[in-house]
Amino acid sequence: MADISLHEKLIDIQQKLMEAEQWFELGNQYYNMAQTVEKENIDGDYLRELGCRMKLKLKQEDVARYHSNGIKRIEAFANKGACKSCVSNSGKTVAVSEAMTANLLPVRECKNEYGCRCCYVPVIE
């Protein structure tokens, strides 16, 4: 019986994460792959974009949850150790209805090793 290749293992992991809708972990996998190929002087931008898209799905689910719970406004919050792009975005507030299409998070320009780790927090009025 032949050993499973690294490529096949990665595809299997990605498929399982997609089936489980584990967007954050899948996004981290893409960012990790981008770092790996960049160490070989290969452009990892496409993999970073895929990572960002997975995290966007997670953020859209967060926004939908806030909407269904009657929250009217949310605020972008940069976690400790965030990059300059994320810090400059932190504190911005937006109506939940607008956030569903505005895609304030994740910050595409984020320079964090695993991409944007910012989150939305509800604004209590």
pLDDT at position 27, please? Answer: 87
Digit-coded pLDDT (tens) for 6-24: 668 777 877 887 888 888 8
Residues across the chain: 125
Residue percentage of the chain with pLDDT more than 70: 95
Digit-coded pLDDT (tens) for 18-45: 888 888 888 888 888 888 898 999 998 9
Could you give the CA distance from residue 105 to residue 121 in angstroms, rounded to a whole number? 12
Q: Which residues pair with 90 in a beta bridge?
A: none
pLDDT at 1 over 70: no
pTM of the full predicted structure? Answer: 0.78
Q: Which residues pair with 119 in a beta bridge?
A: 77
pLDDT at position 7, please? Answer: 66
The residue among 47, 70, 60, 54 whose CA lies nearest residue 102 is: 60
Q: Say whether 119 sits in a helix, a strand or coil.
A: strand
Least confident of 1-10, 25-34, 94-103: 1-10
User: What is the pLDDT averaged over residues 36-64?
Assistant: 90
What is the 8-class DSSP label of residue 4? P
